[in-house]
Amino acid sequence: MSMVDVRTDSVQDLPNLSMVAKFSVATRLQVLDKNGDECGPAQFSQTTEKDINQLRSVEEKLAQRDWRDLRKKLINLDLDNHQQIAEWLTQAGYVPKPEELDELKLARTISPGAESLEKARTMAEATAIEPNLYEWPESAVTNEIVAWLQSWRDVVRWLMDIKTERFRSAVNAAFALDEDMRVTYGIALQAAFEDREVKGLKHPVTDFLRALKPPAYVDTKTLAACLTGVGRGERLPAYFQWNADGKPSVTVHIDTPARAIVMAVHVDKNFSVRHWRTCDNCGAGFEAERGTHRFCSNRCTNYFTTNARRDKLRVLSEGDQEWQRLPAEKRKKFDRWEWISGWAKRNHDTQIDPAWARKCVTKGETA
Ligand SMILES: [Zn+2]
């Protein structure tokens, strides 16, 4: 009897199998260092019951993160405001590297009076307020972290802005880029090995950019990584299971907040009917429940409609003055309100309903 080898790298498709896909994001806090590099889950050496309870309540909060809401906050984040960035990082589930936090505390408490670093350290320990390990301090927001946030914030914003069709062709182009890079490196490597020069070898990213035409501020590397995967072009681990009714499902595991947000982009671009919009009044990004929503809030709706009405009244008033200037014979041939309506359309591209015009003018609202 021969041994059956179950180790295999071949992948089999399961056609016609309808499955529920679930996404699970780790509730562990993630360490982000001062260079804006993600360094894996945070380790805490909790000893007291108080510490353990505190960490547990933080993780319970992390389990309830709303990725669409965090994505919206990220897109609208004011990157000059370090306090706002610190709050976002806390909500998303990032903590600074413990050593860097210590350095920071020390630097802040060293007084000019301390004779030595050793003395300063003792003073720092004596005066340090109990730090909250689970909150991002504003002072730990570095320029590198801001740059990192900006590079993938811009990518997320652009991807949410483009239409589904364009999103799909962007995914396409990113995979083609991946393939082209491999081929190009192969050719270059082979040439170097044989000690000969290759001429006319262009960088594959040229084609990628030509196909996609992303705005100049979007970082190409981050963009490609967010299109072929959820930030680093890697595959995600998943568990396959079925419930008591035999209904199968796959749970995909995501380790970091940044990747969870990119995953939320892919989910909404490919499978959901949500509309990402830019508010017509304040310019903030928001999710519209219906395709017709133009404003992020009631406040913006009111503000805009009030202003729009004011603009319309101004056009009406101007149109009525033009009407008064017409020779009497000409006026006899037209209905005043119809004429003003036509004039507004021609000169200001503004829709004015004749009945509304009459009501406003007779009530003196244009005065
Ligand atoms: Zn708004």
> What separation in Å is there between the alpha carbon of 7 and the centre of ligand 1?
56
Tell me the longest C-alpha to C-alpha distance in the chain.
110
Q: Is residue 277 classed as helix, strand or coil in its secondary structure?
A: strand
> What separation in Å is there between the alpha carbon of 299 and the centre of ligand 1?
7
User: Tens of pLDDT along 317-361?
Assistant: 999 999 999 998 889 889 999 999 999 999 998 888 898 899 888
Q: How far apart are CA 131 and CA 176, in angstroms?
A: 48
User: Tens of pLDDT along 136-179?
Assistant: 989 899 999 999 999 989 999 999 988 888 898 888 888 888 88
> What separation in Å is there between the alpha carbon of 282 and the centre of ligand 1?
4
Q: Order across the sheet with 94-96: list the strands.
A: 38-41, 30-32, 94-96
The domain limits of the chain are 20-127+142-278, 298-362
341 and 357 Cβ atoms separated by less than 8 Å: yes
From residue 138, give the alpha-carbon distance in Å to each of 29, 93, 175, 333: 17, 15, 38, 71
Please list all protein residues whose beta carbon sits less than 5 angstroms from ligand 1, which is an ion: 279, 281-282, 284, 296, 300
User: Tens of pLDDT along 295-307?
Assistant: 888 888 888 778 8
> What separation in Å is there between the alpha carbon of 74 and the centre of ligand 1?
16
Strands 238-242 and 20-25, by their bridges, are unpaired
> What separation in Å is there between the alpha carbon of 301 and the centre of ligand 1?
7
> What separation in Å is there between the alpha carbon of 161 and the centre of ligand 1?
16
> What separation in Å is there between the alpha carbon of 289 and the centre of ligand 1?
15
